[in-house]
A and B are shown apart, each in its own frame.
Chain A
Amino acid sequence: MKLSKLSAPTLLLLPAFIVLAVFIVLPLMFSLYSSFTPFRLTKPDTLWVFIGFRNYVNVLTNAEFWVAFGRTVLLLTIALNAEMLLGLGLALLVNKATRGQRILRTAMMFPMMFSPVLVGFQFKFLFNDNIGFVNNALQSLGLTDRAIPWLIDGNLALFSIIVAEVWSSTAVFAILILAGLLAMPKDPVEAAHVDGCTPWQTFRYVTWPYLMPFAFIAMTIRSLDVARAYDIVKIMTDGGPAKRTELLWTLVGRTAYGDARMGLANAMAYVAILLSIVFTVYFFRKLAAARQQIGAEW
């Protein structure tokens, strides 16, 4: 066949290309098309009505959408940064441990075993204001005599969601940064020590530059994956109460299936995809830069 005439890389990339084209790009084309129709699930015929950019105009002029958009960016920024800092701390702690590395590393990855759905339920129960673990603990320790409405107050609810998200995803950062720590050549650190650097200086000017690419990789992976948080938020608050924790994903999910307005939901989803593309490309650039820097030094 002609197949053998294709160049080696084309041949090698072909399976990946086919899989992604059929199962990601094709469905996306369909979503794109339906975002130009008033498609309602319960009225299949509406798929053939073309309404141009009306859905997009609706979405882009909708204040609620922009509030949700802004809140999503805020949540991502806080969560990703917190995950990175905590992941770094965790990796340093585990790396320093002299015994039980194997157990510690497995334990460190423990939250990755939890399906996001489960994480959602778990934290919903932990943060329940009346019979939840957190309030019970605070009340038993005498730290408060109020039932703190964790999932009700706008800021607290967002905080609770971030806690759940951070708990479930810090492991990804920790494991990648730990990998970086293990790969680091020992000489520069020792040299810095001999030169009389303080531990902080050693970390800041020697260790951290080595770790940066790993941190960016983790960032990139996480920003690719971050819509997984949908499952968590859906179960914890589903955007409520009174839209105080509404995020793009909960808004899209409800519009798509609850209201059955697929066309409109897909228009929203496209704007959301744009957001994650921007995040991803940004971190990808950073990663490339950091890699080059290290490449020069290694």
Chain B
Amino acid sequence: MDTNASHRLRRRLLKAAHFVGLFLAMAVICLPGLWIVLSSLRPTVEIMAKPPVWIPETLSLDAYRAMFSGAGQGGVPVWDYFRNSLIVSVTSTVIALAIGLSGGYAFARYRFKAKSAIFLGFMLTRAVPGIALSLPLFMLYARTGIIDTHFSLILTYVALNVPFTIWLIDGFFRQVPKDLAEAAQIDGCTPWQAFWQVEFPLAGPGIASAGIFAFLTSWNEYALASQITRSVNSKTLPVGLLDYTAEFTIDWRGMCALAVVMIVPALTLTFIIQKHLVSGLTFGAVKG
């Protein structure tokens, strides 16, 4: 009886400790984000106050109002940036997935010469720092006249995302038993039909997880975008953030407001896909 009681006590303590730990961890993760949301709602004088003002005295949507108003009143072309970001991120993610699907399938289903060397080579292209790519890419695009277009940015992000996409999808296809597709073919499917109707649906979560990684990379990329984009034709949100910095000033409140606009869609998407994401990574990445 006594041991039982102490056991129960220990269980409860552990549970409490777990709760506290989880709470603290989540606080550390989320506080900076909440701080950004809060900063976007407070007047600058309060954000920068010394001694600090802990409890906000006034909250307003002024920063958001200013952001959406015209040039000269503190406005930035949010809609253009948002549209550019969305077009570029979604398109490049879809293309990267398509290429990754075919490449990953090849690695998972076929034997060929120097397979692991090629695989490693593909992965290493991701190790190139953006700064080493930015000028040559710029020259390439300037010469071909596609600078400051969605097209050039999409191609760049496809190249950035393909290696990781191939990796995740490769791992995932290895999980799908070969026999399934073969069985389908015996049942009269063409190889093409067998792929789309049998193997592809099973690889769904892997594709979802590769997709979200690719999407977030494109959505948040700055170093290359700052070089390739020039005007509202193609400037994306991360580059747009820098509109709030001028030679002498940073409008931190405005920047926070734009940051919120940037984070919310990404967060929503992640929330929707996260279930697939976890299971996708589970099967996809490891069992190689």
Residues of chain A at the chain B interface (Cβ within 8 Å)? 7-10, 12-13, 15-16, 19-20, 22-28, 30-31, 41, 89-90, 93-94, 96-97, 102, 104-118, 121-123, 125-126, 130-131, 133, 136, 140, 167, 171, 175-176, 178-180, 182-183, 213-214, 217, 220-221, 223-225, 227-228, 230-231, 249, 252-253, 256, 262, 265-266, 269-270, 272-273, 276-277, 279-281, 284, 288, 291, 294-295, 298
For A249, the chain B residues whose CB sits under 8 A away are 129, 131
Contact of B271 with A121 in the complex, beta carbons under 8 Å: no
Stretch at the interface among B69-77, B177-185, B196-204, B273-281: B273-281
For A24, the chain B residues whose CB sits under 8 A away are 125, 128, 133, 159
For A31, the chain B residues whose CB sits under 8 A away are 132-133, 135-136
A110–B221 alpha-carbon span in the complex (Å): 16
Given A116-B222, A179-B285, A284-B123: A30 in contact with B129 (beta carbons within 8 A): no
Given A16-B162, A115-B241, A179-B278: A110 in contact with B130 (beta carbons within 8 A): no
A274–B105 alpha-carbon span in the complex (Å): 29
**Which of B128, B166, B282 lies in contact with A182, CB distance below 8 A?**
B282
User: At the interface, is chain B mostly helix, strand, loop or mixed?
Assistant: helix
With both chains docked as a complex, state the minimum distance between the C-beta of A188 and any C-beta of chain B, in angstroms: 16
- Which parts of B128-187 form the interface with A (CB within 8 Å)? 128-133, 135-137, 139-140, 155-156, 158-159, 162-164, 166
Given A106-B274, A273-B132: A96 in contact with B282 (beta carbons within 8 A): no
Contact of A130 with B18 in the complex, beta carbons under 8 Å: no
For A214, the chain B residues whose CB sits under 8 A away are 285-286
Contact of A115 with B22 in the complex, beta carbons under 8 Å: no
Residues of chain B at the chain A interface (Cβ within 8 Å)? 18, 21-22, 25-26, 28-30, 32-33, 35-36, 48-52, 54, 98-100, 102-103, 105-107, 109-110, 112, 118, 120, 122-133, 135-137, 139-140, 155-156, 158-159, 162-164, 166, 216, 219-223, 237-238, 241-242, 250, 252, 255, 259, 262-263, 266-267, 270-271, 274-275, 277-283, 285-288
A41–B262 alpha-carbon span in the complex (Å): 33
Contact of A252 with B129 in the complex, beta carbons under 8 Å: yes
Contact of A16 with B100 in the complex, beta carbons under 8 Å: yes
Contact of A281 with B120 in the complex, beta carbons under 8 Å: yes
With both chains docked as a complex, state the minimum distance between the C-beta of B196 and any C-beta of chain A, in angstroms: 15
Contact of A105 with B278 in the complex, beta carbons under 8 Å: yes
Given A9-B112, A12-B102: A224 in contact with B35 (beta carbons within 8 A): no
Contact of A118 with B238 in the complex, beta carbons under 8 Å: yes
Given A15-B103, A16-B122, A230-B131: A140 in contact with B136 (beta carbons within 8 A): no
A294–B131 alpha-carbon span in the complex (Å): 38
For A125, the chain B residues whose CB sits under 8 A away are 252
Q: List 26 A-B contacts (CB under 8 A).
A: A15-B99, A15-B102, A19-B159, A20-B162, A24-B128, A25-B125, A27-B133, A27-B140, A104-B26, A109-B270, A111-B29, A115-B222, A115-B238, A117-B222, A136-B52, A171-B29, A176-B281, A224-B163, A227-B130, A230-B223, A252-B129, A269-B131, A276-B129, A280-B124, A281-B124, A288-B288
Contact of A114 with B129 in the complex, beta carbons under 8 Å: no
**Which of A89, A126, A182, A272 lies in contact with B278, CB distance below 8 A?**
A182
Nearest to A294 among chain B residues (CB) is B286
Contact of B35 with A133 in the complex, beta carbons under 8 Å: yes
For B28, the chain A residues whose CB sits under 8 A away are 167
Contact of B106 with A179 in the complex, beta carbons under 8 Å: no
Contact of A122 with B274 in the complex, beta carbons under 8 Å: no
Given A20-B125, A93-B18, A116-B222: A269 in contact with B132 (beta carbons within 8 A): yes
Contact of A93 with B159 in the complex, beta carbons under 8 Å: no
Contact of B281 with A175 in the complex, beta carbons under 8 Å: yes
Contact of B129 with A272 in the complex, beta carbons under 8 Å: yes
A242–B255 alpha-carbon span in the complex (Å): 28
Nearest to A273 among chain B residues (CB) is B128
Nearest to A229 among chain B residues (CB) is B129
With both chains docked as a complex, state the minimum distance between the C-beta of B7 and any C-beta of chain A, in angstroms: 14
For B237, the chain A residues whose CB sits under 8 A away are 115
Contact of A227 with B103 in the complex, beta carbons under 8 Å: no
With both chains docked as a complex, state the minimum distance between the C-beta of B276 and any C-beta of chain A, in angstroms: 11
With both chains docked as a complex, state the minimum distance between the C-beta of B101 and any C-beta of chain A, in angstroms: 9
With both chains docked as a complex, state the minimum distance between the C-beta of B120 and any C-beta of chain A, in angstroms: 6
For A19, the chain B residues whose CB sits under 8 A away are 99, 155, 158-159, 162
With both chains docked as a complex, state the minimum distance between the C-beta of B39 and any C-beta of chain A, in angstroms: 8
Given A27-B137, A94-B22, A114-B33: A16 in contact with B103 (beta carbons within 8 A): yes
A115–B222 alpha-carbon span in the complex (Å): 8
Contact of A97 with B110 in the complex, beta carbons under 8 Å: no
A27–B134 alpha-carbon span in the complex (Å): 9
Nearest to B120 among chain A residues (CB) is A284
A273–B270 alpha-carbon span in the complex (Å): 31
